[in-house]
Amino acid sequence: MIVSVTVHGAIFSVADQERIQDAATAVAEEMAGGEAMWAVASAAQDAARALEAPAAAAAAAAAGSGTPASLSPGSVPAADGAMGTRVWIWFHHIKNPAKKKAICDWAKELGLVGVCKPGYPGVLIAQGSESACKEYTSRLRALRWKAMAVRAEEPLNRGVAEAEAEFAAALAGCGSAFAGHVRGVALLGEQDLGLAASLFDRLGCGGTFRRVILKMSSERDPEPGDELGGADSS
């Protein structure tokens, strides 16, 4: 079945219209043969909001500083010397291609690292400076979700650079699963919840992952000397 979706919007550039159209088409193709009109329209709206959110954030920052939005140097200060923060976010689901792109693009823009497991449920854990994490969650909340909850926000008690180096080492320890990933949020497969658990076991916070994200109250974070082991990633 050939699926064709056309999107027009006077306030968006041609390139942005194509991005919105691609997101809507992806949903239409996925649901071909079923009742897809509402889902396609929703995907187009979500993609449009994802494109609008950075501009809105810049405009808000400019309004507060008296600087024109086009000249705003950015709403998040540099992370040099800042202490690290980690946010644990749960979503009912993450399926929309435009939202996945926004999750990854905004993380890179704000200097965050982390992982995102799309699908049902959606899981996103990101870390960086406190100001960057707050800006990130604010942008995400501006998008439309069936359900989104920041389950926890924790100080890492060490600098952003040190925490990022630890995160990179944990990624490397997971083998080829994260090969080639350098910065930003790594997008996992929809069945990779176990891989995420293994990563956070290596960071020494696997128990937190299970308590906060999976709601498994019996888990604890490993003590020094414990063997590292994660759930099966199959």
Instruction: Assess if residue 153 is contained within a domain.
Output: yes
Instruction: Assess if residue 101 is contained within a domain.
Output: yes
Residues 105 and 44 in one domain: no
pLDDT of residue 223: 43
Instruction: Assess if residue 78 is contained within a domain.
Output: no
Residues 63 and 95 in one domain: no
pLDDT of residue 226: 38
- Spatial contact of 123 and 186, defined as CB atoms under 8 Å apart: no
Number of neighbours of residue 13 by Cβ within 10 angstroms? 10
The Cα 6–Cα 17 span in angstroms is 9
User: What is the residue range of 42's domain?
Assistant: 14-71
Q: Which residues of the chain have pLDDT under 50?
A: 59-75, 77-78, 218-234
Residues 97 and 201 in one domain: yes
Number of folded domains in the chain?
2
**Which CATH number do you get for residue 130?**
3.30.70.100
pLDDT of residue 227: 38
pLDDT of residue 71: 30
Task: Name residues whose C-beta falls within 8 Å of residue 227's C-beta, 6 or more positions apart in sequence.
Answer: none
